[in-house]
Amino acid sequence: MNILITGICGFAGSVLARTLLQQQAGLRITGIDNLSRKGSDTNVETLRQLGIDVRIGDVRDAEALATLPRADFIIDCAANPSVLAGVDGASSSLGVMQHNLYGTVNLLELCKSWNAGFILLSTSRVYSIPALASLPLVENETRFSIEASAHDWSPQGIAENFSTEPPISLYGSSKLCSELLALEYGSAFGFPVWINRCGVLAGAGQFGKADQGIFSYWIHSWRAGRPLRYIGFGGNGKQVRDCLHPRDLASVLLRQMNEPSLAGPRIHHFSGGSENSMSLHELSTWCTQRFPDLPNPIITEEQPQNRPFDIPWLVLDPSRAKQTWNWQPQTPLAEILEEIAQHAETNPHWLDLVAS
């Protein structure tokens, strides 16, 4: 089987490429990446040494895509993944749409031409910010939690039918539009499409920043003694996210490619779920125990005001994926955190390498 992975030099793309090769013999992988994420260039030669055909190019360039070898499936990992993209001054709103949406359209045209299947790595940020903010949260000693249930949310997380009513951020909108177009293209032109909405991805080697890859960013910052601050929701760090190692996706990606006509829903959550969820307060406690000889870098001055796009609790319920694919995350949260901590210890200047 021939596979094209976009954004292959990013954290998710590179981990998936290596894991897919380990789990299925005979795969031939081509990857494309524009190396726009600082630090992604460090993965180029490592992937090439594994026999992967890594091309430096951009999904926005249809002519460059046309030169790639034909694939049976495209796994789209390319994106500007920041919820602040297009509104924080670091990138333009048009640039976000060109990269996250127009790039996907180019890939769908390629699938149409090749009669190839398409897998989109999407995001938890396609869900309505006002709806998420109105969930009936309970404030406990170390985190926010949910103790009730409704048709589209429960203590296990939110379901795939949770509201996607705007506002959801420009980033979230670009991914939601990509999902809809992918499903339309697949229906119109007869190729298989899978939409995989992922929780927060984390692990060693991630190019984590404050607005994306928070688990990696927090641990690396703690190890480096860089100041950290709880922002919003009372300034106590009780906001919660779930955590997933991207290698846990590889097994289901192989099934999606090998069983493309499987009946059932095309959109699934792949996440750590409630068992692999953690608040910033709890993450800080973990860091204190893991690095007992280091000073606590948390700035005690609270910033209780909420910022646009911030939400207090977002956990994806992966029950549908378990029902359809018999899938569940394999890497416990403690193992993911320890992997990041060891990477931080052996790469003390990592934040300097990946800072924008």
Over residues 273-289, the pLDDT tens digits come to: 999 999 999 999 999 99
76-125 pLDDT, tens digit per residue, is 999 887 887 787 777 789 988 998 999 999 999 999 999 999 999 999 99
Q: Indicate whether 356 pLDDT > 70.
A: no
Q: What's phi and psi for 228, nearest 5 deg?
A: -130, 150
Domains detected in the chain: 2-354 (3.40.50.720)
Q: Give the pairing of strands 73-76 and 2-6.
A: parallel
Q: Indicate whether 263 pLDDT > 90.
A: no
Q: How confident is the model at residue 187 (pLDDT cuts 50, 70, 90)?
A: very high
pLDDT value of residue 284: 97
24-79 pLDDT, tens digit per residue, is 999 999 999 999 988 999 999 999 999 999 999 999 999 999 999 999 999 999 98
Show the CA angle centred on residue 77, arms to residues 261 and 92, nearest 5°: 130
Distances (CA, A) of 75 to 13, 120, 153, 288, 353: 9, 6, 29, 38, 27
Q: How confident is the model at residue 126 (pLDDT cuts 50, 70, 90)?
A: very high
Stated pTM of the model = 0.96
